[in-house]
Amino acid sequence: GNEIPAQATSCPHCGRPSLFPNVRAASLPEEVAALAERFAAARTDVEARGCGAVADAFMQRIDRSKPVIMRPFSEVERLARNDHQIFSTYYRQVEAEIRLPHTSAWDPIRRLADEALFPGYKENIRFAALTLNDRGLPHYGDCFLILRPTMIAHRTSVFEENSVVFMKRRDLELRDMMNIVPGYRAPWADRAKLCLAKLGSALQPDTTEADFSSLLLRSGKTPQEDDFVEVHVWGPITIRTVEKVVLVKPLMGRAAKAMLRVWGERLSQYGVTLEVT
């Protein structure tokens, strides 16, 4: 058929809807082939080390993984007011002049990485991480929002790690960023293949299912040292996209407990569970 522009969600010629751009990019033949090669190498390695059964169990667990977004509780409060509140992106917020751009040294790299991965559509991508235990990375906020897979699977892709760290670790030049080596991203349905390609070498014969969560997502001393599989969700997220909210170590005075009861009831109106740890 006719070629669809990278940023388009439908054919400009006939109007038929297409895969979402990030999913389409992760499904390109060269991406699929390169990931298959990495996956095959990982399978060969785990089998040679007597870890085949562990790898099978790991992949089965990854197939049940979910995206987690890490935000301050104030963002959850806003989203839970009603289902017209949208979880926006950094670029949309800057464009709307409701926040200022970052001024850190990482910001130019982030912009380059985002444009390289999402050419012409970076403002539509929401970032999350894969989790097996409903926990996230505390550097980004004290609230973990677990998304409903049924709401995001069709519009989600996954990436090897923090995409900015990926670019910086490899010291990629601009020309390399615009032509990222394939095999490090996948559609949502193939996230287990990507995870084994990345983490297969860490599996040992005595690795248990209890160890899988910390292999998949690890918090470092700084955000740049966090290790996780990055999730890219195209398009809007509202409170109805959320399955569960996990609030980590909140203040638990009498007033705080009363407030949490109120917000728990409000979240339950949208079928969202509130867990306080």
Domain count along the chain: 1
Residue 266: the pLDDT is 93
Confidence category of residue 260, pLDDT binned at 50, 70, 90:
confident
Q: What range defines the domain where residue 100 resides?
A: 21-66+85-133+151-236
Does residue 268 lie in a domain region? Answer: no
Helix H, strand E, coil C: the string for the chain is CCCCCCCCCECCCCCCECCCHHHHHHCCHHHHHHHHHHHHHHHHHHHHCCCHHHHHHHHHHHCCCEEEEEECHHHHHHHCCCCCCCCCCHHHHHHCCCCCCCCCCHHHHHHHHHHHHCCCCHHHEEEEEEECCCCCCHHHCCEEEEECHHHHHHHEEEECCCHHHHHHHCCCCHHHHCCCCCCCEEEHHHHHHHHHHHHHHHCCCCCCHHHHHHHHCECCCCHHHCECCEEEEECCCCHHHEEEEEECCCCCCHHHHHHHHHHHHHHHCCCCEEEEC
Does residue 209 lie in a domain region? Answer: yes
Give the pTM: 0.93
Residue 246: the pLDDT is 96
State yes or no: pLDDT of 123 exceeds 70: yes
Does residue 273 lie in a domain region? Answer: no
Does residue 30 lie in a domain region? Answer: yes
Residue 1: the pLDDT is 67
Does residue 263 lie in a domain region? Answer: no
Does residue 174 lie in a domain region? Answer: yes
